[in-house]
Structure 1
Amino acid sequence: MQASFTPDGGLLVPTATAASPWSDEMVNGHHIGGLVAWGVQRDEPDPELQLSRMTVDMVRAVPMRPLRVETRPGREGRRLRVLDVSVLDGDVEVIRGSALLLRRSEHPDAEPWAPEPWDVPPPEQIEGPSGGPMPWEIRRITGWGEAGPGKVWMRETAEFVAGEPLTPMLRAALMADFTNPLANSGTGGLAFINVDVTMYLTRDPRGEWIGLESAGHLGADGIGFGTTWMYDVEGRIGHCVAAALPDPRIQARHAAR
């Protein structure tokens, strides 16, 4: 499959692989976290800093036009750094992001409470399609619309930027947006569109597969958010949250199917 973006000087040019299933003129929400993470890894050279938090605000729909990714230092300390990220269509900011990077060190012996470990089959033991029109492969651990927490394995199957390797940080960032359909869906399908996503990581994923498990949805007065746990094949690595608003267009599409 073609890479999602091709470099052109200081710009990233989206290919058909990056197009949204909702509109051929918009970049898929799946790629939005990837654009922010790509800017962070390009401009933060210290390998001892771990991307600990990435927040993405979806300011506008991202057009299928050449995009420029800019970063600005926020706070620069010995143990932490903050980068602000903008993705621009010409002079118009379409994505606003920020990244908190923490320096790795010896971990303390303290054991705060945490949920029970994820106990699911590995992706290789789950039947699923080998590919499709989207640049990722998905193995459903639970079916769509089932009661209870949704669980999936996913992996990216296309290069993000042509000629560049898919780094572990990028693999995680690309999957963060799936928090919305996984955690903000009910037995009647998805009724929400997310307006942001925040991902927390304690470490980079190991291997190609990223697991997501819904940790719940909360909503009132047309405002909701959903949360997920994030995994690799060795265990839990992070947490994602997406704020969302109801979107009648999504419900109409589901009803038409």
Structure 2
Amino acid sequence: MLLRGAGSGAGALSHNAWRENHVGTIESESGSFFERIDEHRYRPTAHSGGAWDPDELHFSPLGGLIVHAIDRHRAGHADAGLALSRISFDILGRLANDVCEVAVAVLRPGRTIELLEATLSIGGRPVIRARAWLLATLDTSAVAGGGDAPLPAPDNLDSWPLSSVWPAGGVVDSVDIRPVGTPQTGRTTAWITTDVELVAGEAVSPLAGYVTLVDLANGIATRQPPSEWMYPNVDLTIHLHRQPAGRWVGLDTTVVFGPSGQGITSSVLHDLSGPIGHAHQMLTVRPLTPPQS
């Protein structure tokens, strides 16, 4: 979710296949979250609006935009088929609804392990800093195992309007959410997808499309009404043991509030073939209207 009032098949194959076919445009009748201005700058659309304040951006598509920028950086640099295996986002301040600029740099080059850093700035001020570990890929199918069972497929599940919980927001209105069972307080398992493009007219990797929706985990398993309480996340960390495929994001999510203003949203991440990793978000929990002294 956005930050407000908190100080304010195999990975290498999927990425390389996207890189080799990263040409042309994709037409969409549903619009996009961003429009490209130049090599590093993007203009947000109404679809990117936040859930608590329309003048702020929802973090979720910004996470996807950063992965897209990392993909474009990698497309211009040989990386020996590495797979992005962990990405952590720190939200540094208010996500104003304005032009976004993304810069990517290599912090730790390597043939089998590499560390990248991406910084997203709004109005010349860094507001998100992300670090991504890229790891070598090789065939470990003989020893693969240990993940959760796959989720029931979304095809026969009913859609659940997120607007029944969240009163507003471009992102809220842009997604199709299909719960597996009835959503519970602080506990929901659901599939999420969208017809909205990440960047208008641009192909994106399966990972960038997937990350575009992961941050919604904090909005599908609410513990308190967002009209009365705020619980924005100050970060998002994603660990992957397998690269995602397809347009559906599966979130098996639990939200915990502690007794002193902190909370954690934890999710097992799925695609249609089964689990792919985990995501965690640190929350700052506070009443929407501070108590009167």
**Shorter-normalised TM range:** 0.7 to 0.9
Matched, 1:51 2:84: yes
1:200 positional shift: 1.2
Aligned counterpart for 1:176 among listed residues 214, 219, 224: 214
- 1:127 Cα deviation from its structure 2 partner: 1.6
Q: Kindly report which structure 2 residues correspond to 1:90-169, keeping only aligned pairs within 5 A, or say none.
A: 90-107=123-140, 109-110=142-143, 114=146, 116-118=148-150, 120-128=151-159, 134-146=173-185, 149-169=187-207
Q: 1:83 aligns with which of 99, 105, 116?
A: 116
Q: What CA deviation, in whole Å up to 9, does each residue of 1:75-119 have, x standing for no partner?
A: 11111111111011232101111111112112164467x35413x
Task: Please say if residues 18 and 27 of structure 1, whose CA atoms lie closer than 8 Å, have aligned partners that are also in contact.
Answer: yes
Task: With a CA cutoff of 8 Å and minimum separation of 6, indicate the structure with the bigger relative contact order.
Answer: 2
Residue 225 in structure 1 maps to residue 264 in structure 2: yes
Which of the numbers 16, 32, 53 marks the counterpart of 1:3? Answer: 32
Contact 2:87 2:130 in 1 (8 A): yes
Alignment partners' CA distance in 2, 1:108 and 1:24: 46
1:33 aligns to 2:63 (yes or no): yes
In structure 1, how many angstroms separate the alpha carbons of the residues matched to 2:175 and 2:290?
Answer: 24
Give the TM-score taking structure 1 as reference length: 0.86
Task: Tell me which of 193, 213, 219 is aligned to 2:252.
Answer: 213
- Gaps (5+ residues) in structure 1? 253-257
Write the mapping of 1:237-248 to structure 2, written as runs, cut at 5 A. 237-248=276-287
- Matched residues in 1 for 2:290 and 2:242: separation? 36
Q: Distance in 2 between matches of 1:117 and 1:6?
A: 38
C-alpha RMSD of the superposition: 2.6
Whole-Å separation in 2 of the counterparts to 1:204 and 1:96: 22
Q: Deviations over 1:169-195 (max 9, x none)?
A: 112211221232345x33x44652211
**TM-score between both structures, scaled by the size of structure 2:** 0.76
Q: Secondary structure at the match of 1:125?
A: coil
After superposition, the Cα gap between the structure-2 partners of 1:40 and 1:47, relative to the gap in structure 1 and judged at 3 Å, is farther
Between 1:212-221 and 1:62-71, the stretch displaced more is 212-221
Aligned residue pairs total 247
1:47–1:122: structure 2 CA closer, same or farther, 3 Å change rule? Answer: farther
- Shift in Å at residue 217 of structure 1? 3.1
Distance in 2 between residues matched to 1:250 and 1:158, nearest whole Å = 33
Change in CA separation of 1:3 and 1:109 when aligned onto 2, cut-off 3 Å: same
Unaligned runs of 5+ in 2: 1-29, 164-169
